[in-house]
Amino acid sequence: MQSPWPLTPGAMPRVASDAAERLDEKPAYLTVAGVPLGRQGSALVGLKDTGLDISLPDGLALHYDREGRLTRAATPNIQWRRGLSHRTVWLRKRSGLEGGGLETRLLTPDLSDRIADETSVRAQEVLAAWQVRSRPLIKYEGEPARAAELLDRRLSRAAAFDAQAARIDHERFAAVYGDIPILPPDQYRALVLLATGGCAYNRCTFCGFYRDSAFRRRTVDEFRTHASEAVAYHGQDAAVRRGIFLGQANALTGPRSWRKEILRVANEKWNLLASRDDLAKRRCVRETEISSFIDAFTGRGMDADEFRELRSLNLRRLYLGVETGDPQLLEWLRKPATIAAMIETVHAAKQGGVSIGIILLVGAGGEAHFESHVRETAGLLRAMRLGKGDYVYLSPMTEAAGAEYSALAAEAGIEPLSAARMAEQTSRLKAVFLDVPRNRRPYIAHYEVAQFVY
């Protein structure tokens, strides 16, 4: 296994001096500056709606949000994704000889600190070179002086984001959110607002995300205060978040009147963001889209009329952890739902105009349930009548810390799937919709929980 941090000059593989990514050739960048770094070559610094990117001549790319917080560092085959929680995931693209795919590791806090410090040093070098030279803008929108001023401001913030700044920022994050353990993949860039904390059920054998959290539903006034604090924490970056995700495990667990009021508050906050102009005088805030997890025992009490009402309040998509269509496996996983309840929930939501995201566990039940898991899940997916605008996520079985799955599986003699059998099961589940015309199929994608950071 390679080192999770080969960014230091002595350890990082050196590449050609012209390896800086050509940011000026990409339409996303509003302003791009070339910054000579002496013998090292030149860096390119790009300003875009969502933040600032630095492309260095040794092949390293640094990405920051609009508040100057490091979000990602990358070389051609390796990247480090850093979340607001100051957790960092290391990902390496495996070669064909290694079987392809991604190798993933969650880094220790001290390595997250080191990454913040060393990327700050690299950004400081670029800032120093930028400030002593003639600020050559290769590309800009609007007045050159203003473009240079905006770039200088964001680059200064990026350069100042070292380990100490990262820890301080994480303290602010934790005060607002506590933690955000999981989101659907298409919601990683959403503005998360917590209407609830913890999970109302919290006994699934494979899930340990909320084991240490008591379930709590915020009052409408508490939620309004929290939403204001969340927007303030995100700062300028809030305006480019992709819609709102209501957390945590199921933000619709409550009375019908409460659900409506929570959505109204979320709309109020988003409308305030939409009234703000982007720094480059672009409107980058999208149409209001609100999403949430839902479970079948909550959804079964909601009919198409209520979903239609919530749709009018900009609820656009709900994500249901189906895990499997095999009733026996579902019971063994201690999932508090029936196949009938899940189908009923999905049909009611879709009749009300709300799209659905289905999450399935690849490998659940191991070899003992391989065939029944595939066969019954395929039947369930067809019965749900999913189509364009819906999502199906295939998530490899990964036991969260604090969950009982592995111990129970060992006790029951359930053999986990090999990598080849995992790939086979994934392929067979993907094939469920092959007979559906492409323009009517749901979106089907891999969902690697271990790669998540918010």
Q: What pLDDT score was predicted for residue 15?
A: 46
Q: What is the DSSP string of 40-58?
A: G-EEEEEEETTEEEEE-TT
CB 94 within 8 A of CB 179: no
pTM of the full predicted structure? 0.91
Return d(Cα 91, Cα 413) in angstroms, integer: 32
- Find residue 196's DSSP bridge partners: 217
Please report, for the chain, the start and end positions of each structural domain, with discontinuous segments joined by +: 23-168, 179-451
More confident residue, 115 or 7: 115
Question: Is 232 a residue whose pLDDT tops 90?
Answer: yes
Among the residue ranges 95-99, 184-188, 371-375, 419-423, the one predicted with the least confidence is 95-99
Task: Give all strands (DSSP E) within 182-314, no chain letters.
Answer: 191-194, 196-197, 216-217, 244-247, 290-294
Return d(Cα 61, Cα 9) in angstroms, integer: 14
Cα angle 326, 327, 328; round to 5: 95
CA nearest to 445, candidates 298, 287, 319: 319
pLDDT, tens digit, for every residue of 135-171? 678 988 888 888 899 999 999 999 999 999 999 999 9
User: What is the CB neighbour count within 10 angstroms for residue 372?
Assistant: 16
Specify the CATH number for 179-451; select among 3.80.30.20, 3.40.50.300, 2.40.50.140, 3.40.30.10.
3.80.30.20
pLDDT, tens digit, for every residue of 338-392? 999 999 999 999 999 999 999 999 999 999 999 999 999 999 999 999 999 999 9
pLDDT, tens digit, for every residue of 30-71? 999 999 998 888 999 999 989 999 999 988 999 999 999 999
Percent with pLDDT over 70 in the chain: 91
Return d(Cα 381, Cα 375) in angstroms, integer: 10
Mean pLDDT confidence for 266-292: 71
